[in-house]
Amino acid sequence: MAQQRPIVLVPGKMSQRVLDRLPETFELVRLASADPALVTAEDAARVSGIAIQGKLASAFIDAFPKLEIIASFGVGYDGVDAAHAASRGVAVTNTPDVLTDEVADTAIGLLLNTLRRFPVAENYLRQGRWARDGAFPLSPLTLRGRTVGFYGLGRIGLAIAHRLESFGVSIGYHTRSKREDISYAYYPTLKTMADAVDTMIVIVPGSESTRATVNADVLSALGKNGVLINVGRGSTVDEKALVEALEQGVIAAAGLDVFENEPHVPEALMTLENVSLLPHVGSASEATRNAMGDLVVDNLIAWFDKGEALTPVPETPFRRSKSQA
């Protein structure tokens, strides 16, 4: 008799690449959302894997007594209660590395757009104003001579920093502890870094420990020539304080790819001219999203075939037990 294929549940939206590949190896079950009320008794008793793109609460995890692994689509997995999954012995995986270069490229583009106002200049041309009104106004800001401080210096932060080296800017960073493998200037607190730099790039995960840590005091320390770039998580920045800082000239400009309550962007940010806004497109190329989708599926295959995920998150460095196999 043929061995039964593992059953993988996908609640809500998911990369088409994942949906196309999963049926090759697994029995696929779909739900409209990750709502425990939608789980039938039959599915609760059968599902051993979940592929998720977005949030997955502990109550949904607990709906599946035979759950072994949660494969999350994205490098950030703050939407998944990984600590609770770990307490259940459930492995959690994410998709690091495959999106590093794409997000780093986006960060550089967003930084240049913010400083030099390229999207505004293009609209000026498209509206016929170059011919009608003359040359586009000189940009008040430039990358020349800037000092860039990184809030977070993991894989993506390092990739951005390496790109910025070629621009001839000074680079520093703030993380929980100093890294011994790099020579960039280290700042023990976020505020001391903000005092020392005029450009801050935020690329830390979203968590309670990082929530609203870029606050009014930090923005004030960044200064009137200061520029804030956020390609990490919107929750890291106090959006109300940021709006006030931009309106009052506490800092010069900001470039944001992430927001606190996506996809809803505060109207106050939308109306400001010294802000460059993107709809969370850091990794949004077909090539990169397909690579992320492949890693979601490959993690599930590796877990059920070899007993070990390819990219487990630090909270769940598990191997599949013999009793699960």
Strand duo 185-186 + 199-202: pairing: unpaired
Residue type, 72: S
From residue 75, give the alpha-carbon distance in Å to each of 59, 72, 145: 23, 8, 32
When computed from its CA atoms, the radius of gyration of the chain, rounded to whole angstroms, is: 22
Tokens 């590093």 locate to 100
Q: Under CATH, what is the fold of the domain 7-96+286-306? A: Rossmann fold (3.40.50)
pLDDT attached to residue 3: 61
State pLDDT tens for residues 66-76: 999 999 999 99
pLDDT attached to residue 1: 37
State pLDDT tens for residues 255-287: 999 999 999 999 999 999 999 999 999 999 999
Residue type, 155: R
For the chain, what are the domain ranges?
Answer: 7-96+286-306, 100-277
Burial 217-229 (b: 16+ CB within 10 A, else e): ebbbbbeeebbbb
pLDDT attached to residue 325: 72
Question: Exposed, middle or buried by CB within 10 Å (0-12, 13-18, 19+), for 83?
Answer: exposed
Pick 100-277's CATH classification: 3.30.2130.10, 3.40.50.720, 1.20.1250.20, 3.40.640.10.
3.40.50.720
Minimal CA–CA distance to 175: which of 162, 192, 159, 195? Answer: 192
State pLDDT tens for residues 171-201: 999 999 999 999 999 999 999 999 999 999 9
Tokens of 10: 């996908």
pLDDT attached to residue 324: 81
Q: What is the pLDDT along the chain (325 residues), one digit of tens a residue?
A: 346 899 999 999 999 999 999 999 999 999 999 999 999 999 999 999 999 999 999 999 999 999 999 999 999 999 999 999 999 999 999 999 999 999 999 999 999 999 999 999 999 999 999 999 999 999 999 999 999 999 999 999 999 999 999 999 999 999 999 999 999 999 999 999 999 999 999 999 999 999 999 999 999 999 999 999 999 999 999 999 999 999 999 999 999 999 999 999 999 999 999 999 999 999 999 999 999 999 999 999 999 999 999 999 999 999 998 778 7
From residue 71, give the alpha-carbon distance in Å to each of 62, 107, 246, 283, 296: 16, 26, 39, 18, 6
Are 7-96+286-306 and 100-277 equal in CATH topology? yes
Print the SS3 string covering the chain: CCCCCCEEEEECCCCHHHHHHHHHHCEEEEECCCCHHHCCHHHHHHCCEEEECCCECHHHHCCCCCCCEEEECCCCCCCECHHHHHHCCCEEECCCCCCHHHHHHHHHHHHHHHHHCHHHHHHHHHCCHHHHHCCCCCCCCCCCCCEEEEECCCHHHHHHHHHHHCCCCEEEEECCCCCCCCCCEECCCHHHHHHHCCEEEECCCCCCCCCCCECHHHHHHHCCCCEEEECCCHHHECHHHHHHHHHCCCCCEEEECCCCECCECCHHHHHCCCEEECCCCCCCCHHHHHHHHHHHHHHHHHHHHHCECCCECCCCCCECCCCCC
Q: Which of the residues are catalytic?
A: 233, 262, 280
